[in-house]
Amino acid sequence: MFYQWSTSEFREILGNENGDQFVDIFNLKDEGNYYDEAEKSRTGRNILYLKRKFGELAENYNLSEEQFIELWENLRQILFEVREKRVHPLKDDKILTDWNGLMIAAFAKAAAAFNEPEYLSAAKKAADFVWEHLRDEDGRLIKRFRDGDAGQPSHLDDYAFMVWGLIELYQADFDPAYLQKAVDLNELMLREVWDEGAGGLFISAIEQTDLIVRSKEIYDGAIPSGNSVAASNLIRLARLTQNQDLEHKAQLIGEVFAEQVNPLPGGFTHLLAGLLFAEGPSYEVVISGKFDAEDTKQMLSAIQNAYHPNVVTLFNPSDKSDSLIYKLSPWLENQPAISGKATAYVCQDFACKSPTTSIDEMNNYLGK
């Protein structure tokens, strides 16, 4: 009942004239547009929805769009205040580490693709919140946060999805602190849930003794599985840091689950996308230059704005202003900017083509 209204309520609350207008605007019906499945009938109650744009509605009432919006806001506030007095539905407002990881990855990818700073800001705020509030004293992730309290032991999805988000944040922002956090969490994940005997990743850590069995899952349903995301993360981190042991572990994940995947590959799309990255052709691209220089921005945008599913990108600051990236990827020190210009190094299996200051040539190297 919290979200439902009758036409008589609208007329009583807003007056007949305004009530009639809003009945029309929100597509209310006297018999109701809400169909009760239990009683198999309409209840006289309505769910509000719009099917016309503000400009069309304003024209229908002989108002300018600005006048209509002013009317809309005033009457909507009246309805809101009435609804606030109703009994509110229960809300699930806890903050989950794994879901935030997925959200961070999505916002970071969108920020890079569309050059949208608000998306990047949202991704960074969420990542920083998780890092500050959803880790224990040993740096391990915690499952959920609500009302100042963090609790419940983390699982594979928490690590895999957060590592994914942090990798995408680095690819969008090129702040090596996010890449370092991805590396650190990935190491913790392997320590907590990697199966040293057979390979692959358990859902739960070994110290969670209240479970009957430590299971492994690979099916990519409404959201991808932790093992699938972890495999993709391992491959990308291997390419970003030259740690080939990580790529070997990703291959083991594919081997461990091969018998499940082969008969029905359509159920394991995220895993297969990661393994296709490993199989190639895939590329490591290093952009060297001054981060705020226009030619550097253009070269980075050329990579970020195009669809490159099998590319990882690193930024090498020509002024060497941040030594952390050289700790993570020491090979960047040997890939300087040429004559002070933004320079691209396009590599496969860590063997690089001739450096170029041309975006067109960089794209040619990438097969674009």
Write down the pLDDT at residue 41.
Answer: 82
Edge to edge, the sheet with strand 351-352 lists 311-317, 283-289, 343-348, 351-352
Token output for 275: 């393994």
CA 105-110-116 angle, to 5 degrees, is: 125
CATH no. for 95-279: 1.50.10.20
CA distance 234 to 336: 27
pLDDT digits (tens, 9 = 90+) for 270-309: 999 999 999 889 999 999 999 999 999 999 999 999 999 9
CATH 1.50.10.20-classified regions of the chain: 95-279
pLDDT at 257 over 70: yes
Residue 15 Ramachandran class (φ > 0 left, ψ -120 to 50 alpha, else beta) = left
CATH no. for 283-365: 3.40.30
- Residue whose entry in the numeric block shows the structure tokens 């700790």: 327
pLDDT at 210 over 80: no
pLDDT digits (tens, 9 = 90+) for 103-150: 999 999 999 999 999 999 999 999 999 999 999 999 999 999 998 899
CA distance 9 to 19: 8
CATH 3.40.30-classified regions of the chain: 283-365
Write down the pLDDT at residue 312.
Answer: 96
Most confident region among 44-48, 57-61, 284-288 by mean pLDDT:
284-288
Write down the pLDDT at residue 143.
Answer: 95
pLDDT at 37 over 90: no
pLDDT at 324 over 80: yes
pLDDT category at 208 given cuts 50, 70, 90 is low
Backbone angles phi, psi at 162, to 5 degrees: -70, -40
pTM equals: 0.84
